[in-house]
Amino acid sequence: MKKFAAILTLTLISFSSYAEDIAPAELPPSPQIEVKTNAGDLRMELFTSKAPLHVRNFVDLVNSGFYDNTIFHRLVSGFVIQGGGYDTDYKMKTVDKVIPNESGNGLSNRRGYVGMARTADPHTADTQFYINLADNIALDPRPTRWGYTVFGRITRGMEIVDEIGYRATGPGPTPELAKDVPQEPIIVISMKMVDEAPIETSEAAPESE
């Protein structure tokens, strides 16, 4: 437990230094992202107050055009679809910074919620995101380990996400994409932030258990 507390202290220091470089107040409380894909259009709502570092990073990537003409490169039926890391030629896209983990923000990896992918190191999220196809609470944090940060949800087009979730998968054209690659490319044509009010739903943002 002492080891975990030491790691948490170091992370809070890292979090503070990173936070000095961003200005979450410049963002609306619920940025709305329009996602155009070759399978149909989606709408994301982001949670600025819950995951300010992740939202700031994601919005900056959206505004820079980083996600335009990328693919959903990983599809695990009943689990997640994942994108944001490869272009339409299956070449990896990278950036030079990573985001401190914000998984202890009270949001849970429930169906339709959007989280940030990472490696085994909890503080390595950068560009790749995923959409939960089911309630994946195993991805949530626990007292002895970090979770995967939830920072948004799908508010329109979840039926399209579900349809994508049933598509055939197999190996990709590069060694690092050895499995779970959609056999017909699912392309993110564009993403942009839109100046619209959040879509009202009866479902509140779920808290972690």
Domain boundaries, the chain: 2-194
| pLDDT tens digits for range 152-171 | 999 999 999 999 999 999 99
Q: Report CA-CA distances (Å) from 72 to 7, 32, 82, 156, 172.
A: 33, 20, 5, 18, 12
pLDDT band, residue 1 (cuts 50/70/90): very low
CB-based contacts of 78, cutoff 8 Å, min separation 6: 133, 134, 165
Which residues are 36's β-sheet partners? 41, 190
- Helix (H/G/I), strand (E/B), else coil: 19: helix
| pLDDT tens digits for range 3-57 | 444 444 444 444 444 444 545 458 899 999 999 999 999 999 999 999 999 999 9
CA distance 114 to 153: 5
- Predicted confidence (pLDDT) at residue 135 exceeds the cutoff of 70: yes
Tokens of 52: 């300010």
pLDDT at 199: 66
User: 2-194 has which CATH code?
Assistant: 2.40.100.10
Tokens of 15: 């979090």
pLDDT at 207: 58
| pLDDT tens digits for range 48-84 | 999 999 999 999 999 999 999 999 999 999 999 999 9
Q: Is residue 35 a contact partner of residue 43, using CB atoms and an 8 Å limit?
A: yes
